[in-house]
Amino acid sequence: MAKGDDTDTGRGRLPRSGWAHMVVELHVNDLKASRSFWQDVLAFDTAFERPDEKFVYLEHPEGHQIMLYQRHGRFGSVSV
């Protein structure tokens, strides 16, 4: 990984195409199942993830980006 691509609480890299102007964040019931759908069916790749927070930032080769965040009973967002 290149310098600046990792943080204390997560692992990954910046999206290949840079940050999108708008990114949807979906709160899901099952992160593993949702991630499998977005990656296996829709061909998204992992750009960044925070396993302890059950958060993943996905990107598509065409530049689309989406955040998946497993519901935990309280509302909150994750900084990237």
Q: Is residue 11 part of a domain?
A: no
Whether 5 is covered by a domain: the verdict is: no
Predicted local distance difference test score (pLDDT) of residue 2: 38
Let me know: does 61 contact 42? Beta carbons within 8 Å. no
CATH number of residue 57's parent domain: 3.10.180.10
pLDDT band at 56 (very low <50, low <70, confident <90, very high): very high
Inside any domain, residue 40: yes
Indicate the number of domains in the chain.
1
Residue 36 in domain? yes
Q: What is the mean pLDDT of residues 18-31?
A: 88
Burial of 3 (C-beta count, 10 Å sphere; 0-12/13-18/19+): exposed
Q: What is the pTM of this model?
A: 0.72
| Assigned domain for 80 exists | no
